[in-house]
Every structure is written in structure tokens, then in C-alpha cells.
Amino acid sequence: MATSLVGQEGALSMRFPLTIDPESRRLFTGILVRSVVILLLLSCDSLTVAEQNNQNREDRMKHNSNKNPAVTGRIPDSEIPKTNVEWRKRLTAEQFEIARRKGTERAFSGKYWNTKTPGTYRCICCGEPLFRSGEKFESGCGWPSFYAPIDAKKENTKGNVIAEHVDRSLAAIPGFGIRTEVTCRRCGAHLGHVFNDGPPPTGLRYCINSASITLDPEAQSNGSKDEKDTSKSQ
């Protein structure tokens, strides 16, 4: 039996030699090198395509931003779009989904949720001033929060620039119930919701999507510039 096995192994060795002749080794090495080079080139092409896609996305956002006059100020009533087709041309995809289709951005993902820059927050759709940074507070919810709109008065803490609507979209989900949606009264842009768990003096928390607003920062006061000039002269 042992002799038979040895004979079989010898026959296998003759059919499939364990050693590779130099010519075959060079051929195999060449194929391997070419395969590695091709894989590297494909990887580089994939990275280039991904980078180009990211650049195209940034260019589209910048292009849409440049087409939206509300970013720079309050636009006239005659320039407010009337159809979704017009809004799509003016807003970014995220802004359109949230401001015109009542979407919601993820918590802690918006541009202004943790912003402390002094200024005025205006509607991203029509440029209407809505909130001041002085009424902004840290609520811990992950969205920009304000305790009053810009035109709130002691006798009318809700002001007139914000409109309220009953929202039953999540009423069937435990923990949500019926909510109060807030929109820009002028153009109807969806802003977010208002809750009765805010700080004094109103006790309200306007929970607003960053994509629905744009911040107009306050310019430096002349006093600070004068102080700098005075310090230089001394």
C-alpha cells in the first residue's frame, strides 16, 4: 500500500512540478505587477470621481445661495416665488425640503444650533427678520432655540411675524401628540415648532431649523474702532 502511494505521489509530482522555471516566474511576476498597477489606477479614478462629486455638490449649493436674494436682505413682495418650481431654483435642496415641504433637519447638524454670533435671523425664503440673537438660548435640543420672535411685545409675546398652525402629523406617536407649527407669516416658510418649556419671560421655546433661517451678523460698533484708533495714537 505504501509503495502504491509513493508511486502515485511521484506521478502527481511529475504532472504538477513544485518548482517554477525562470520564464514562468517572470511571466507570473509581470502579470502580478500589471494587476497591482491597474488596481491602483482604478482606486485613483474612484477618489477623483468622489472628490469631483463633492466639489459639484458644493458648487451647486454656492450657486443656489447666490441666486437667493433673501440671503442678503428682505426681498419685495413682488419677488417672492409663487410656485415650488420657482422655489427649487432659488433654494438649496435641503432648504427646499425643510422650508417648503415641512421637513426637519437632524438635531445638532444645523448651521446655527450652537451659534453665538450677535445679529438678526431672517427667513431664508423672503428675508423677513424673525429672531434676534439676544432672544436665543441654549436649550440642549440640538436646534436653534429662541424664547420670543423679533417683534414680541409685553402684551403680545408671540409677535406678528410668526404664524402658528396645529400640527397633527405625529399625533399618533407616543411622546409627540399635537404640536404647534410655526411659519413665516409673510411667505409661509416652515420654520419649526413652538413649545411651552422655554425660559422667562415668555416661557416659550421656538425650536427652529437652521435651514429655514439665515443670520445677518451685527457690524462692529464704531466705539470699538475708535478705541483701537485711540490706542494706536497713544
Active-site positions read 207
Contact partners, residue 118, CB within 8 Å, separation at least 6: 133, 134, 217, 218
Please list, residue by residue across 80-117, b when 16 or more beta carbons sit within 10 angstroms of its beta carbon and e when fewer do: bbeeeeebeebbbebbbbbbbebeebeeeebebbebee
Q: How far is Cα 97 from Cα 91, in angstroms, rounded to an integer?
A: 9
Report strand pairing: 205-208 vs 190-195: antiparallel
Q: Which helix (H) or strand (E) holds 102?
A: none
Q: Is 121 helix (H, G, I), strand (E, B) or coil?
A: strand
Contact partners, residue 70, CB within 8 Å, separation at least 6: 90, 122, 123, 124, 125, 126, 127, 214
Q: How far is Cα 110 from Cα 207, in angstroms, rounded to an integer?
A: 12
